[in-house]
Amino acid sequence: MSRMRLAMRNRAFLFFSLIMPLAFLFIYMGIFGRGKVQAVPYLLAEVLALTVMGSFWGLSVQLVTFREQGILRRFRVTPVGASAMLASSLLSNYVLTLPTIAIEFYLSRQVFNMAGLGDILSIFVLVTVGTVTFASLGLIVASVTNTMQETQIINQIIWFVFLFISGATIPFPMLPGIAQKVALFLPATYLVSGLQRVMSERNTGIMDLGVYLASLVGCALIAFVISAQLFRWEPEAKAPRRAKLLAASAIIPFLLLGIWENLNGDLRNHAMKDLQSIREPYSLERIER
């Protein structure tokens, strides 16, 4: 109950979680999806991914603001613990993301004439897991940075990487080779390509998403545990350098592992091309013309 109530404080972040993704939706659909109903699911997948990834911003900024203003320390003298505090942030963020996702689906169908919906269960699971994953990553940034400025800078850097080297803006197969390799290290890539696969390939069920989900769940778990470990209530408590190393070193090996496996398995690359090919029959002629 208390966690749900905490959701109310998120009012200010509606902008990030609602308006920005919808703007993306209209821009994508308007520019790339015009007159090509077949491309809509693929584009919607990108917008969904952006919506989910937006959790990354909202939560880290919020947590740092709360810490800097001494709001967190007030909660510290109540029976609310660090994990509860973080979990409530994740939950409220998730609850606020769902309506946006629903609106995006609704608009895609009604305004942009999308045909099917894809496998609803798979989409739901990916959105759920993805939201928690990216929100947790945001919490890590909040735990590691000492000031809002630091948070913003680190967020910007990570956000741009997520944005451009994940397939969320530039489709994965169109990325240069090196960028593709880098992309396979990023949780964002798994979210984007997972969603694209569900949306674009028929008969993709939740069983086909094992690797995508495993990487996201793994990332979420590690990120949540680390952020709970590094959680600081007090504005003047600085993150020790060791904490930063811990945060970095805990994410990188996981990513390395997932990537290695995926580079060798080559699963992702194929999936990406599959997804792209769904779109190509319709866009190819335009490109060649």
The residue type found at 37 is V
Instruction: Give the residue, chosen from 19, 23, 27, 74, that forms a contact with another protein under the rule CB under 8 A.
Output: 74
Give the binding-site size for another protein (rule: CB under 8 A).
Answer: 21
Interface residue with another protein among 22, 26, 36, 71 (CB under 8 A) is: 71
Q: Which residue of 19, 27, 69, 256 would you call a contact of another protein, by CB under 8 A?
A: 69
What residue type is assigned to position 35 of the chain? G
Q: Which of 28, 66, 172, 231 binds another protein (CB under 8 A)?
A: 66
Residue of 22, 88, 13 lying closest to 51 (CA atoms): 22
Rounded least distance, CB 4 to another protein, Å: 9
**Which of 15, 23, 27, 70 contacts another protein by CB under 8 A?**
70
In the window 87-116, what residues touch another protein (CB under 8 A)? none
3-class secondary structure for the chain?
A: CHHHHHHHHHHHHHHHHHHHHHHHHHHHHHHHCCCCHHHHHHHHHHHHHHHHHCHHHHHHHHHHHHHHCCHHHHHHCCCCCHHHHHHHHHHHHHHHHHHHHHHHHHHHHHCCCCCCCCCHHHHHHHHHHHHHHHHHHHHHHHHHCCCHHHHHHHHHHHHHHHHHCCCCCCCHHHCCHHHHHHHCCCHHHHHHHHHHHHHHCCCCCHHHHHHHHHHHHHHHHHHHHHHHHCCCCCCCCCCCHHHHHHHHHHHHHHHHHHHHHHHHHCHHHHHHHHHHHHHHHHHHHHHHC
Nearer to another protein, 74 or 273 (CB): 74
What is d(CA 128, CA 125) in angstroms, rounded to the nearest whole number?
A: 5
Residue nearer to another protein on the CB measure, 70 or 253? 70
Looking at the Cβ atoms of 173 and 235, the one nearer to another protein is: 235
Closest separation in Å from C-beta 144 to another protein = 22
The answer to the question of residue 233 lying near another protein (CB under 8 A) is yes
Q: How far is the CB of 7 from another protein (least distance, A)?
A: 10
**Interaction of residue 147 with another protein, rule CB under 8 A:** no
Q: Which is nearer to another protein, 32 or 233 (CB)?
A: 233
User: What does the per-residue mask of binding to another protein show for 12-31, with x meaning CB under 8 A?
Assistant: x-------------------
Give the residue with the Cβ less far from another protein, 63 or 223: 63
Asked if 9 interacts with another protein (CB under 8 A), we say yes
Region from 5-13, 125-133, 184-192, 269-277 binding another protein, contact rule CB under 8 A: 5-13
Residues that bind another protein (CB under 8 A): 1-2, 5-6, 8-9, 11-12, 66, 69-71, 73-74, 76-80, 233-234
